[in-house]
Amino acid sequence: MNPLPQPRRKVFTPWRTKILRAACYLLFALGILALSYAGIVFADSHIYQAVEIQKFERAHPPELPRSLANGDLIGELQVPRLGLNAIVIQGDSAALLRRAVGHLSNSALPGEQGNVALAGHRDTFFRSLRDIRVGDEIRFKSAEHVFEYRVESIEVVAPTDIRVLDSSTGHDLTLLTCFPFHYVGPAPKRFVVRAREVEAQGSEAHAIGK
């Protein structure tokens, strides 16, 4: 009876072993760098939010200038049921959205007639929107007023569907983020929350834009 053939073991030459070892070290170093970068971005955004929220709530910020520059503080967004609390600034560039929720420059400002459009990252400030419901309360605190909105609709659309940014004859609020929330890489859809203002608290509510 002939013995069964034994599988041949791969024999790595010294230079192949060195290449494999170097590749392992390189991948390990790249992993450390990626984690470090993610940690720095995470820490920077949360420190920025904590400092700006504290300043906003303790101080009395001036009225918004007529012409807003990218990065200017607009107010504070709150969704009480979700525990969402984030500073809103002007602009929606990648650098700005790493630190705060961004106000789309072509949309209305809180208190103005029209559609206030805000964008945020699905893996940071707007992550909790995955649990939002129709009827939820949304608050927007500006320098002078607290505007209260109620969620009327939630939908998922294509990135090319810009009708969600259309102006309106009322006082509306639109929150935009990428979808699905747990997608790895650039997400293919957009998650859209539409809300309508139901009450404005504070002195001379609706003074802006009247």
Of 74, 176, 81, 91, the C-alpha closest to 125 is: 176
- Is the separation of the CB atoms in 102 and 96 below 8 Å? yes
Within a domain: 47? no
Within a domain: 142? yes
Split into its structural domains, the chain has a count of: 1
φ and ψ of 115, to 5 deg? -115, 115
Within a domain: 148? yes
pTM to 2 decimals? 0.72
- For the chain, give the percent of residues with pLDDT over 90: 51
Within a domain: 127? yes
CATH of residue 195's domain is 2.40.260.10
Within a domain: 84? yes
Residue partners of 82: CB distance under 8 A and separation at least 6: 128, 129, 131, 132, 136
Q: Which residues constitute the domain of residue 135? A: 60-201
- Quickly state the pLDDT bin for 184 (edges 50, 70, 90): confident
**DSSP for residue 13:** -
Within a domain: 41? no
Residue 207 token pair: 């003074």
- Quickly state the pLDDT bin for 115 (edges 50, 70, 90): very high
Q: Determine the Cα–Cα distance for residues 46 and 28; give it in Å rounded to an integer.
A: 27
Within a domain: 159? yes
Of the segments 53-57, 95-99, 130-134, 179-183, which one has the largest average pLDDT value? 130-134
Distances (CA, A) of 147 to 70, 78, 124: 22, 10, 23
pLDDT of residue 167: 86
Between 210 and 79, whose confidence is greater? 79
Within a domain: 140? yes
